[in-house]
């Protein structure tokens, strides 16, 4: 009898294929193998034949032999179930999900060392501008040829040239050296009564080794991290693994510091900025079970943990847990599913839980654990709304007089100030004073944003960049370009004008481009080398700066326009989070919110601190509209470089929409960003009752239609971004 194996190959365009298992080779479900595909070889994973239909039935006599097994632990059954579930729920090819589990191809190769390169300090005899650029950008960095070339924005050949001249040298890196184990008893904090009670619930859940979704609902500064650290300590004691998901890699550094202080060793870090050698080492440690605690961005969710005992999703309300490319999954929701397949607790930690999560508590599906007050002597900050109509800033300025006075006093006391505006760059719109010409991105339906620091205008959607022209491209007049509205750089200019002595820092994804930059920022804040921080949403989460006592929200109305169903909720969360940075220690904190509409329910809730009433009203509004979590949405996005083709396809899809009770299909309409990265986009929105199997309907519906190859159709189940 020849053994037959169904294999899911790492190619999203292919369904599962069958192969023959050669004699002497082990190929059980989960085994990572190499298979022939045409003239090539490809990685894949053996699957249970009854759980995944083969893409093409092939007789035993025509099967090709598998080439070999990879020397790595198999993909565990719980992860195989998660891959199936994710592919099914989000209508994604299973191979695209599998790719996230096998996220380190070098981890699957046999080598135990990799050759990396670093600068020697010697300069090449013949210096070219490319070589100069490469050496300048490489600096202290070490990495593979390819990684250095990417970092330096030069070709591989330039890097190889530098190696042959002796300016770079080879370093053999052992990739499987063990990680230091964390010590659960290294430094146990004295918990408050509330914290102890909360920690006891989480620890018991870890001990129970059963699926248990838990909402850890604690105000900012209540010590949620200390509490879930106790659950992690319990998992370490029992020899099992924990995973902590963070919404931004910029938050990794502060997390690592706290983790090391508590456990005496570093956790395993997983994010997109890792070098290949680090990736391989982490992947293998996770797969072997050696990695006790992993902290990472959402992609860490699909790694092959061997014995997971706990998943924590920190700042679980953050919408950055939703992936907007490739597989459109929401890491918070997938984390809960993983906990179910692994039979372990999942802790969602947040000061401002999403309405979806609260509703699960109401329905009794999630347990709620509360931390009602800040830890120690710290009090929640006072919050004041500043009515921009009644007390406007001076002409051409953005800070209202009362906020200016508060900043004066704070700086006077030697304390730190945070000004929050969720807009990168200098101004959101630049136009010509003479002819009114506006700078639009050639690839997107979006205005170009001026970045004065680097003298460029940039599209924040596709990354298109141009120099700021000296004269208007339309009317040719010089010096007539004016900036409209503020971005963080413009607020920084105003702060420089008002407080020339104060040390300022602008914190955005432009300036905090790596974990190292984030660490430098934290260090400067702690050393009081910064008096005023001006930042985007990047500074609203997780940070703990005891000397920061004043927060100014420049434009609290910003998130409310645009008709997004979660706009008010998101504004509440964002402002609460940024307000939560103020007064986290002995010194009291104050928050000023600049708004045109201080009477809006969300502003009143923020000022009055009445979250419960706000959530209740929002939840009722959602219930009435049958919006999530009471009803469900799915978006079908049709895009093409050829506008007519996209339009035709969108209409054809609409025409073939099945008639289903309690389901409506809206559109097609041009997406708000009607053109993105040179592609024209149309959107259909499917709205249905919760009880309807929207995935099955979409599969049947879209499966029966053909569209031209130049048109792309993507489905976004439970969409968050309506752009």
Q: Which is nearer to ligand ADP, 64 or 523 (CB)?
A: 523
SS3 604: helix
225 interacts with, out of Zn ion, ligand ADP, none, CB within 5 to 8 A per kind: ligand ADP
Burial of 564: CB neighbours in 10 Å, binned 0-12, 13-18, 19+: middle
- Residues 525 and 37: their CA atoms lie apart, in Å, by 55
Task: Give the span between the Cα atoms of 307 and 292, in whole angstroms.
Answer: 9
Which of ligand ADP, Zn ion, none is residue 589 near (CB under 5 to 8 Å by kind)?
none
- Determine which residue in the list 222, 350, 416, 422 makes contact with ligand ADP, applying CB under 6 A: 222
Element containing residue 411 per DSSP (H, E): helix 401-412
Query: Which residue, 5 or 459, is less far from Zn ion as judged by CB?
Result: 459
x/- mask, ligand ADP, residues 357-386, rule CB under 6 A, reads ------------------x-----------
24: exposed, middle or buried (Cβ count in 10 Å: 0-12, 13-18, 19+): exposed
Burial 359-385 (b: 16+ CB within 10 A, else e): bbbeeeebbbbebebbbeebebbebeb
Contact flag: residue 189 with ligand ADP (CB under 6 A): yes
Q: How far is the CB of 229 from ligand ADP (least distance, A)?
A: 9
- Judged by beta carbon distances under 5 to 8 A according to partner kind, the member of ligand ADP, Zn ion, none in contact with residue 464 is Zn ion
For CA atoms 146, 267, 256, 315, the dihedral sign is positive
Stretch near ligand ADP under the rule CB under 6 A, chosen from 84-92, 187-195, 396-404, 550-558: 187-195
Closest contact distance (angstroms) between CB of 544 and ligand ADP is: 4
Q: How far is the CB of 228 from ligand ADP (least distance, A)?
A: 9
State how far the Cα of 395 lies from the Cα of 388, in Å rounded to an integer.
12
- 189's contact among Zn ion, ligand ADP, none, with CB below 5 to 8 A by partner kind, is ligand ADP
Q: Cβ of residue 373: shortest distance to ligand ADP, in angstroms?
A: 10
Rounded Cα distance between 665 and 281, Å, is 47
CB 431 within 8 A of CB 550: no
Nearer to ligand ADP, 84 or 226 (CB): 226
Q: Which has the closest alpha carbon to 294: 257, 266, 322?
A: 266
Structure-block tokens of residue 576: 């609460």
Phi, psi of 457 (to 5 degrees): -110, 140
Interaction pattern, residues 625-644, with ligand ADP; x per rule: CB under 6 A? --------------------
CA–CA–CA angle 237, 239, 240 (5° rounding): 110
Number of H helices, E strands in the chain: 19, 29
φ, ψ (nearest 5 deg) of residue 654: -60, -45
Residue 357's binding partner among Zn ion, ligand ADP, none (Cβ under 5 to 8 angstroms by kind) is none
Burial 99-112 (b: 16+ CB within 10 A, else e): bbbbbbebbbeeee
Minimum Å gap between C-beta 196 and ligand ADP is 9
In eight-state DSSP terms, residue 301 is: G
**Which of ligand ADP, Zn ion, none has residue 631 at its interface (CB below 5 to 8 Å by kind)?**
none
Count, residues in the chain: 723
Q: Is 362 helix (H, G, I), strand (E, B) or coil?
A: helix
544 binds, among Zn ion, ligand ADP, none (CB under 5 to 8 A by kind): ligand ADP
Taking the mean position of all CA atoms in its chain, how far away is CA 580?
21
Site size for ligand ADP, by CB under 6 A? 16
Angstrom distances, CA of residue 695 to CA of 280, 688, 705: 35, 11, 16
Determine which residue in the list 191, 282, 411, 636 makes contact with ligand ADP, applying CB under 6 A. 191
- The residues facing 532 across adjacent strands are 417, 504
User: 389 contacts which partner out of Zn ion, ligand ADP, none, CB within 5 to 8 A by kind?
Assistant: none
Q: Which is nearer to ligand ADP, 187 or 272 (CB)?
A: 187
For the CB of residue 463, give the shortest distance to Zn ion in the complex, in Å: 7
CB of 360 to Zn ion, least distance (A): 38
CA-to-CA distance for 93 and 99, rounded, in angstroms?
10
Q: Cβ of residue 430: shortest distance to Zn ion, in angstroms? A: 15
Query: Measured from the CB of residue 580, what is the shortest distance to ligand ADP in angstroms?
Result: 6
Q: Which does 222 bind (CB under 5 to 8 A by kind): Zn ion, ligand ADP, none?
A: ligand ADP
Q: Mark 580-599 with x for binding to ligand ADP (rule: CB under 6 A) and - for no binding.
A: ----x---------------
Options 173-181, 189-197, 322-330, 482-490: segment touching ligand ADP (CB under 6 A): 189-197
| Position 195 contacts ligand ADP (CB under 6 A) | yes
Nearest distance in Å: CB 438, Zn ion? 14
Stretch touching ligand ADP by CB under 6 A, among 85-93, 219-227, 405-413, 671-679 = 219-227
Q: Give least dist CB 676 to Zn ion, A.
A: 7
Q: Shortest Cβ distance from residue 193 to ligand ADP (Å)? A: 10
CA distance 271 to 110: 23
Binding letters toward ligand ADP, positions 224-263, x by CB under 6 A: xxx-------------------------------------
- Distance CA(678)–CA(14), nearest Å, equals 27
- Identify which of 553, 526, 539 has the alpha carbon closest to the alpha carbon of residue 581: 539
- Residue 441 contact, options Zn ion, ligand ADP, none, Cβ 5-8 Å cut-off depending on partner type: Zn ion
First CA to last CA distance, the chain: 55
> Is 218 one of the binding residues for ligand ADP (CB under 6 A)?
yes
Options 221, 428, 486, 598; binder of ligand ADP; rule CB under 6 A: 221
Give the footprint of Zn ion on this chain (CB under 5 A): 441, 443-444, 459, 461-462, 464
Choose between 104 and 585: whose C-beta lies nearer to ligand ADP.
585
| Sign of the alpha-carbon torsion through 354, 210, 304, 5 | negative
User: Using CA atoms, how far apart are residues 240 and 635, in angstroms rounded to an integer?
Assistant: 39
Closest distance to Zn ion from the beta carbon of 441 (Å): 3
- CA-CA distance, 618 to 59, in Å (whole number)? 58
Q: In the β-sheet with 293-296, what is the strand arrangement from edge to edge?
A: 268-270, 293-296, 241-245, 308-314, 345-350, 212-218, 367-371
- Judged by beta carbon, residue 321 or residue 375, the one nearer ligand ADP is 375
Name which position in 76, 94, 213, 223 contacts ligand ADP (CB under 6 A).
Answer: 223
Q: Which does 444 bind (CB under 5 to 8 A by kind): ligand ADP, Zn ion, none?
A: Zn ion
Tokens for 683, please give them: 């959107």
CB of 202 to ligand ADP, least distance (A): 14
* DSSP code per residue over 614-661: HHHHHHHHHHHHT-TTTEEEEEEEEEESSHHHHHHHHHHHHHT----T
Cβ proximity to ligand ADP, 220 vs 430, nearer residue: 220
Return the range that interacts with ligand ADP (CB under 6 A); candidates 218-226, 483-491, 501-509, 596-604: 218-226
Closest residue to ligand ADP, based on beta-carbon distance? 223
Among Zn ion, ligand ADP, none, what does residue 209 contact (CB within 5–8 Å per kind)?
Answer: none
Using alpha carbons, select from 167, 163, 121, 128 the residue that is nearest to residue 146: 163
Q: Which residues bind ligand ADP (CB under 6 A)?
A: 189-192, 195, 218, 220-226, 375, 544, 584
């Amino acid at each position: 009898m020849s053994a037959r194996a169904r294999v899911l190959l790492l190619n999203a365009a292919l369904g599962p294929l069958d192969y023959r298992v050669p004699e002497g080779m082990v190929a059980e479900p989960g085994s990572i193998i190499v298979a022939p595909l045409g003239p090539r070889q490809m990685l894949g994973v053996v699957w249970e034949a009854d759980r995944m239909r083969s893409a093409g039935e092939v007789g035993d006599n025509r099967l090709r032999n598998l080439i070999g097994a990879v020397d790595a632990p198999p993909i565990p059954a719980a992860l195989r179930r998660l891959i199936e579930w994710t592919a099914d729920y989000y209508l994604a090819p299973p191979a695209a999900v599998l790719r996230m589990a096998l996220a380190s191809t070098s981890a699957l190769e046999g080598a135990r060392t990799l050759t990396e390169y670093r600068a020697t300090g010697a300069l090449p005899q013949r210096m070219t501008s490319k070589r100069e650029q490469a050496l300048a950008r490489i600096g202290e960095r070490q990495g593979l040829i390819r990684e250095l070339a990417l970092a330096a924005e030069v070709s591989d050949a330039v890097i190889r040239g530098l190696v042959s001249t002796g300016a770079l040298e080879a370093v053999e890196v052992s990739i499987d050296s063990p990680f230091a184990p964390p010590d659960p008893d290294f430094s146990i904090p004295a918990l408050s009564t509330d914290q102890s009670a909360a920690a006891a619930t989480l620890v018991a859940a870890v001990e129970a080794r059963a699926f248990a979704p838990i909402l850890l609902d604690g105000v900012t500064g209540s010590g949620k991290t200390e509490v879930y650290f106790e659950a992690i300590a319990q998992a370490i004691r029992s020899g099992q693994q924990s995973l902590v998901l963070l919404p931004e890699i910029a938050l990794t550094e502060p997390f690592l510091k706290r983790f090391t202080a508590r456990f005496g060793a570093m956790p395993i870090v997983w994010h997109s900025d890792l070098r290949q050698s680090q990736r391989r080492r982490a992947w293998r440690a996770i797969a072997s079970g050696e990695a006790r605690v992993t902290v990472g961005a959402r992609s860490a969710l699909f790694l092959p943990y061997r014995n997971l005992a706990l998943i924590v999703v920190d700042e679980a309300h953050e919408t950055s847990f939703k992936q907007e490319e490739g597989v459109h999954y929401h890491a918070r929701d997938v984390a809960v599913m993983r906990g179910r397949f692994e039979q372990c607790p999942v802790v969602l930690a947040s000061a401002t839980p999403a309405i979806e999560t609260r509703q699960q508590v109401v329905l009794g599906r999630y347990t709620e654990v509360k931390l009602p007050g800040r830890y120690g002597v710290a009090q929640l900050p006072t919050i004041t709304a500043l009515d921009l109509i009644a007390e406007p800033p001076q002409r051409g300025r953005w800070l209202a007089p009362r906020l200016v006075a508060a900043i004066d006093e704070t700086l006077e006391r030697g304390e730190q100030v945070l000004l929050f505006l969720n807009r990168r760059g200098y101004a959101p719109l630049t136009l010509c004073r003479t002819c009114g010409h506006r700078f639009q991105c050639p690839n997107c339906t979006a205005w170009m944003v001026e970045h004065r620091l680097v003298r460029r205008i940039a599209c924040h959607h596709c990354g298109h960049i141009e120099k700021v022209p000296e004269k208007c491209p339309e009317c040719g007049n010089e010096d007539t370009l004016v900036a409209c509205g503020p971005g963080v750089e413009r607020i920084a200019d105003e702060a420089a004008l008002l407080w020339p002595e104060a040390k300022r820092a602008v914190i955005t994804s432009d300036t905090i481009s790596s974990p190292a930059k984030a660490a430098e920022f934290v260090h400067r804040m702690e050393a009081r080398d910064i008096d005023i921080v001006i930042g985007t949403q990047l500074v609203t989460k997780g940070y703990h700066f005891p000397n920061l006592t004043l927060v100014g929200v420049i434009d609290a109305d910003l998130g409310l326009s645009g008709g997004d169903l979660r706009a008010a909720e998101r504004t509440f969360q964002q402002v609460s989070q940024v307000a939560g940075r103020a007064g986290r220690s002995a010194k009291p904190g104050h928050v000023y919110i600049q708004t045109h509409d201080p009477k809006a329910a969300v502003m009143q809730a923020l000022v009055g601190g009445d979250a419960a009433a706000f959530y209740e009203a929002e939840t009722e509004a959602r219930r009435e509209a049958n919006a999530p979590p009471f009803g469900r949405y799915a978006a079908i996005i049709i895009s093409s470089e050829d506008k007519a083709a996209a339009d035709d396809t969108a209409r054809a899809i609409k025409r073939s929409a099945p008639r289903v009770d309690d389901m409506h299909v809206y559109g097609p309409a041009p997406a708000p960003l009607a053109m993105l990265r040179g592609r024209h986009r149309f959107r259909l929105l499917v709205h249905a009752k919760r009880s309807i199997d929207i995935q099955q309907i979409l599969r049947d519906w879209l499966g029966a239609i053909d569209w031209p190859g130049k048109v792309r159709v993507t489905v976004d189940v439970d969409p968050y971004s309506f752009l």
